[in-house]
Amino acid sequence: MNKWILLAALLIVGCLVWFGLGHTTATRTAYSLTLREANKNKILLITVGSEPRTLDPQEAQGVTEHHIIMAMIEGLVAPNIDDQSKVVPGMADRWQHNDDYSVWTFHIGEDRKWSNGDPVTAEDFVFSYKRMLTASFGAQYSDNLFILKGAEDYYRGKITDFSQVGVKALDSHTLRIELVGPTPYLLSLVQHDSWLPVNPKVILKFGNIDTRDSKWTRAENYLANGPFKMKSWRPNDVIEVVRNPLYWDAANVKLNGINFYSIENGNTQERAFQAGQLHKTDQVPLDKVPYYRRMRPELIRIDPSEGVYFYRINIARKPLNDPKVRLALNLAIDRDAIVKNILREDQKPATGYTPPGMGDYQPLDKMHYDPERARQLLAEAGYPNGKGFPKFTVHFNTSESHRAIAEAIQQMWKEELNIDVGLENQEWKVYLDTQNNKNYDLSRSGWIGDFMDPVTFLSMWTTGNGNNNTNWGSPKYDAFIEQAARTGDPKARLEILHQAEDLFLSEAPVVLVYWYTNAYLLQPSVQNWNPLVLGNHNYKYIDLKSEQEPIK
């Protein structure tokens, strides 16, 4: 009896191992690459962080998705090699606009093709925008297209005829876009996922115009019009894209392929980089930044990035309803010390809300470390030396750096203002829920711009905006933003936005902390990976130097 059991157990274990091994050995061998081989074959090995949820540009929401989609789908225009305020032709080989930037015409090149050989037409763009604006499709970024004339009405069902929306195919190679107001930043906007085209044929083959999560995004079905096309997609491991021979500018594409690895854990990324499994990481673990900066400066890159880290203040709660208290909280923070000692990635102390690099918009220089003034303001608000100041809580989603920053700020407020602050961490979605329901005192927040214009930062603070979440609102501020949207002259427009931000900061419904940078590790064999504010790299320019020995 015993022997039989033993035998059966061995058999089961053997089968399990064999089954498992058999599953992978068949698929594994084809993808073996070392860095040197990768350089020789011109295959870029990078990680974009977590696993993308979808590669359908109209369903995508995150930066991760965007960085992968960029390789395969090209918009009307494409990012320049080293300057984000300039663009190069994409699907459109030329374009014009009227004097106040509210009507644009894009001429789509005759040689633009999808990876199945279909020509890219103006109708494809019209279809894509119709899909974005089909309410039942539920595209998260549909409001990005509301600057098209009639788009919002169509979305809300007030008009049912899509031809009344301000996007028209004059012929199959001419696309006319009519906007509700002057939009000088449209060229930056149309590079965003929500403005990218999809091939109507493949969408309709796998569903209707409003079918979500259809099978068209699978590797075997995906249609690309960009420099690369999808070869395989292994969830939680790697997405492989290879050169797209039908791309209009294929002759100038340098790489033969890109492997996008999904590696969430920062330490794992760094180990993979050290082991020669990656050309580029997505981040550098906090504690390793000084090491790389001091010992291996050739491997670490710190690029400016357009994002701001701040705490939202729920101004409906006492005593946070007093602007003096809010300013005092702002002035008591030594941002320099936080950036220099905790983050150490050359982040800039946020002296205003909109970060630098937003085109010609000069960031405001308003919030500074001034403990004396902070104490004075707090006293004026009725809490001399923090006496009687009610305890409030700072709320953040669980993460090492959020906690470190919160602990440091907690200590600064204690030392400078003598007020007690509690800290509470929450799991990501619970934290979002708390923030959206305004069920907090102070809540950690961050904001990353979608395109190159301060509006991407400032429009969220209008009264009742879905991303405001602070209960703050000012008719004057709303008027500024409204006025800016109607102003055609770029200079005057930025001036109005400046005034809006100045007003916002004087009321301070946020505690500003720092402006982001983007730190990552990069093998020197990667060419033309230039620092870009939005991080939108046009992969067709990226090259690999094969003679360069990988640095270990």
Partner 1 sequence: MIKVIVGRLLQLIPVLLIILTVTFFMSKMVPGGPFSAERQATPEVIAKLNAYYGLDKPLWEQYLGYLARVVRFDFGPSYTYQSESVTEVIARAFPISLQIGTLAFCIALVIGVTAGVIAAVNKNKLWDYFPMSLSMLGICLPTFVLGPILALVFGLVLKLAPVSGWYGLNYVPFHPMILPAVTLGLFYAAYIARLTRGGMLDILSQDFIRTARAKGVPDHQIIVKHALRGGLLPVVAFLGPALAGLISGSFVVEKVFNVPGLGQEFIKSVFNRDYPLILGTVAFFGILIVVFNLLSDIIQTLLDPKSRK
Partner 2 sequence: MAAVTASIEPVPIRADELVQGTSLWKDAWLRLKKNHVALFGLYAFCMVGLFCLVGPFFTGYTYEQTEISLKASAPMEPILSRTETRKTGEPKKSFIAFSNLEDEFLDKPESDRKAIAAKIANGEAYQEGRNTYRLSNQRHFFGTDPLGRDLLTRVLVGGRISLAVGFAATLVSVCIGVLWGATAGFAGGKVDTLMMRFADILYALPFTVIVILLMVMFGRNFILLFAAIGAVEWLNMARIVRGQIISLKNQEFIEAAISLGLSSRQILFRHLIPNVMGSIIIYATLTVPNVMLLEAVLSFLGLGVQPPLSSWGVLIDEGSRTMETSIWLLACPAMFFSLTLFSLNFLGDGLRDALDPKSSKD
Supply the minimum distance, in Å, between the C-beta of residue 48 and partner 2. 21
Cβ pair 107, 95 in contact under 8 A: yes
**Which residue, 390 or 422, is less far from partner 2 as judged by CB?**
422
Candidates 205, 215, 296, 545: give the one binding partner 1 (CB under 8 A): 215
Output 36 or 403, the one with its CB closest to partner 2: 403
What the block records as the tokens of 174 is: 């001419």
Range 239-268, binding partner 2 (CB under 8 A): 267
**Nearest distance, CB of residue 273 and partner 2, angstroms:** 13
Q: Hey, how many other C-beta atoms are within 10 angstroms of the C-beta on 208?
A: 12
Q: How far is the CB of 411 from partner 2 (least distance, A)?
A: 4
Beta strands in 329-377 (DSSP E): 348-349
State which H helix or E strand residue 19 sits in: helix 2-28
8 Å CB contact between 333 and 369 = yes
- Residue whose C-alpha is closest to residue 544's, from 148, 68, 35: 35
Asked if residue 202 binds partner 1 (CB under 8 A), the reply is no
Q: Which of 344, 301, 343, 348 is nearest to 535 (CA)?
A: 301
> Per CB under 8 A, does 410 bind partner 2?
yes
The interface partner of residue 31, options being partner 1, partner 2, none and the CB cut-off 5 to 8 Å by kind, is partner 1
- Tell me the closest approach of the beta carbon of residue 251 to partner 2, in angstroms: 44
10 Å Cβ neighbour count for 463? Answer: 13
Residue 446 binds partner 1 (CB under 8 A): yes
Stretch that binds partner 1, among 104-112, 174-182, 314-322, 464-472 (CB under 8 A): 464-472
Q: Look at residues 162, 78, 179 and name the one whose alpha carbon lies nearest to residue 126.
A: 162
Q: Does residue 398 interact with partner 2 by CB under 8 A?
A: yes
Q: Under 8 Å CB-to-CB from 483, ≥6 apart: which residues?
A: 496
Segment near partner 2 (CB under 8 A); pick from 13-21, 24-32, 189-197, 334-342: 334-342
State how far the Cα of 445 lies from the Cα of 460, in Å rounded to an integer: 13
Whether residue 56 contacts residue 514, with contact meaning beta carbons closer than 8 Å, is answered with no
| Stretch of 29-37, 76-84, 356-364, 511-519 contacting partner 1, by CB under 8 A | 29-37
Q: How many residues bind partner 2 (CB under 8 A)?
A: 28
Binding of residue 286 to partner 2 (CB under 8 A): yes
When the beta carbons of 95 and 353 are compared against partner 1, the nearer one is 353
Among 169, 381, 404, 503, binds partner 2 (CB under 8 A): 404
Distance (Å, whole) CA 281 – CA 46 = 6
The helix (run of H) or strand (run of E) holding residue 126 is helix 122-133
Query: Judged by CB under 8 A, which of 7, 11, 94, 135 binds partner 1?
Result: 135
Closest to 283 in 3D by CA, of 518, 63, 530, 514: 518
299 binds partner 2 (CB under 8 A): no
The C-alpha atoms of residue 180 and residue 174 are separated, in whole angstroms, by 20
Nearest CA-CA partner of 155 in 142, 173, 170 = 142
Q: Quick check: 426 binds partner 2 (CB under 8 A)?
A: yes
Q: Residue 17 interacts with partner 1 (CB under 8 A)?
A: yes
Binding site for partner 2 (CB under 8 A): 267, 285-288, 290-291, 337-338, 341-342, 372, 398, 400, 403-404, 406-408, 410-411, 422-427, 430
